[in-house]
Chain A
């Protein structure tokens, strides 16, 4: 009697009764399918067990067969001699509250991989990108990371989009020896350094340093800080408070508002009462545009500094006239056209912008650029290591120097898993509804 093995849903154990146990076990083992006996099953509590007992004449023994999707597909009808592709996983917040990060990142990643594959792949091997949507939730990121590492056995994971999700999966990737190239900004991701974990966005603290430097040049010393109450705002608030004294800036008042707040005139009135010389807002959309509008409406006519979360022309459009004059640190992607031709990043930036806008018919943002940089670093490391072995690739990443990405020029080392320095940022401003380089 033969065991009839169906292509089942992953991780379902189907138990069949068989007459000749030994023969069946041998047949199945030859096919590469592991076999468990009933006593072993009784100790399993991981999977749903569906017992199917045939009412045959011989009621001898019940065998259970562990059917896993990847076992079938690898032992099945694979007749091609093609080399297995390089599997790269990606976890992005394509939907949900962080979709302004994840959606462009996913699009950029697909565009990048298509380009690589149409050029023949890396070292002759194609790249297979597996994109998963976490919805911006850390719990989803954890289960997706486990799925990518344990089942898909990916070489590396690009993303996630937010710091909360990245911190949730940092240890999982480190223990699973899977390279993680995060597109999130928190310092904690690379500090303390975990050997398999890297990040591509610039440092929060560098953004803060740039803001304070510009303020000193303008002669501003007393500021008011407002931040949103989410992870990004809280992290920014901490950096601002930490670095202010050393840079000669006094934070006269610091308030946190709800990230879904629909009107900020109350908070700004409080700042106005303290006679601040400038306002720093550290949040993401929609508050960024709202702050600019409310400030002008209540007559708080001081310079507005924003975080590097302001990196999309849509926020300028949403703010209308009020957005003119906003000053913020950002990657150079948004002003790619006006860079001097000999600037090291110009070719990469202009090329990325053109390809993205042609393919997806929407404006680029610096957020999509982080995914571009992550894939660029990974593919350069694979080329350099000339192998698909993850440890060799990891070592290659640490030795990468002078990689020109969208966020800046990357120089990695064993203690620096971010690779970007102060010069990765440029101070930008908004003039007549467009981004421009900030001139002193």
Chain B
């Protein structure tokens, strides 16, 4: 393999990895606040993308994306208020299963509202055929958008959780709900806020990857699974780590594709995931003590 070929594979790996990473980021927000894994995260991406696609016929693209994010944020809040908040005796496992049910409901609703056709947003810059040369290899400019948006989101979130009062309040709720309440934190509102934030990020992610992956009503579930895998790989709750893990997995898949038959790409990735989890069960980037301290 010559150098441009290697670069091309790397770029392909980064493309795929960035898609996984941006999905994984959404998981971490809700996990940081409530300790539950929201399996409806994938659906938030698709709802955001579909809404933006429907709206961009009427309003310019940036406005459509902003509106789509707002609509999905409202949906996230609604999901929390209607389903999650009312569950009595809310153990984490029970809530996780409920989110699976929610994802099915949203998926069916999307099928009825938008039908089964494949759609995509127009490319943010350029068209379907434009490509940018990087070190002798080619990449679509949209991929650079995905990477850029992921970085901004992750940096913003890390700063939010570490330095703002609301962010720290949300982390407090995950650590110990009762203690947070005693400190005067409105924990119910924090949970709703976490869902809304996660939905907003999901919608933005969905919009930015839509030109690359195309959008269909049932794409939420596979994306969510891949994103969840990457979140675990990096260490649950750590957004920066999940981005790094996503890029790592993407590069690993691309490398495997170049050496072996493409059909085995998924199998090899899962094997690697299992091996890593055997030796570092809290993820590549999270120290074991940190994860043990988390109450799950």
Contact = CB atoms under 8 A, between A and B. Distances in A.
A267 B262 contact: yes
A270 B262 contact: yes
B113 to A, nearest CB: 14
B261 A255 contact: yes
Main secondary structure of the interface of A (DSSP, over half): helix
Contact of B131 (A272, A290, A296, A320): A296
B285 interface: no
B128 A293 contact: yes
A320 B15 contact: no
Most buried by A among B15, B223, B258, B261: B15
B262 A318 contact: no
Given A100-B116, A257-B262, A319-B128, A266 B213 contact: no
A299 B138 contact: yes
Contacts of B16: 262-263, 266
A97 B107 CA distance: 13
Nearest to A287: B214
A266 B253 contact: yes
B214 A296 contact: no
B64 to A, nearest CB: 18
Given A100-B117, A257-B262, A297 B9 contact: no
Interface string B39-50: 000000000000
Interface in A151-206: none
B262 A297 contact: no
B99 interface: no
B12 A286 contact: no
Interface string B1-42: 100010011011101100100000000000000000000000
B127 A321 contact: yes
Contacts, number: 109
Most buried by B among A285, A297, A321: A297
B129 A320 contact: yes
B212 interface: yes
A265 B266 contact: no
Given A100-B117, A269-B8, A318-B120, A260 B222 contact: yes
Interface range on chain A (Cβ under 8 Å from partner): 35 or more
Nearest to A300: B138
Contacts of B223: 262
Given A256-B262, A266-B9, A296 B129 contact: yes
Nearest to A94: B116
Contacts of B19: 262-263
A103 B117 CA distance: 11
A87 interface: no
A265 B218 CA distance: 22
Interface range on chain B (Cβ under 8 Å from partner): 35 or more
Contacts of A267: 257, 262
A322 interface: yes
A49 B24 CA distance: 52
Given A293-B129, A320-B129, A322-B128, A266 B214 contact: no
B219 A262 contact: yes
A432 to B, nearest CB: 14
A319 B122 CA distance: 11
B258 A269 contact: yes
Contact of A314 (B118, B131, B253): B118
Contact of B119 (A290, A299, A318): A318
Given A260-B222, A266-B253, A297-B138, A285 B118 contact: yes
B92 interface: no
A262 B213 contact: yes
A298 B8 contact: yes
Contacts of A257: 262-263
A8 to B, nearest CB: 31
A298 B118 CA distance: 22
A272 B8 contact: yes
B48 to A, nearest CB: 16
10 contacts: A95-B111, A260-B219, A260-B222, A263-B19, A266-B265, A269-B9, A269-B12, A298-B8, A298-B12, A318-B120
Pairs A-B, 3 closest by C-beta atoms:
A320-B128, A262-B213, A265-B12
Interface of A: 95, 97, 99-100, 103, 229, 255-258, 260, 262-263, 265-267, 269-270, 272-273, 285-286, 289-290, 292-293, 296-299, 314, 318-323
Given A266-B257, A297-B129, A321-B129, 10 more contacts: A229-B263, A255-B263, A257-B262, A262-B19, A262-B209, A263-B213, A269-B9, A293-B140, A298-B12, A322-B128
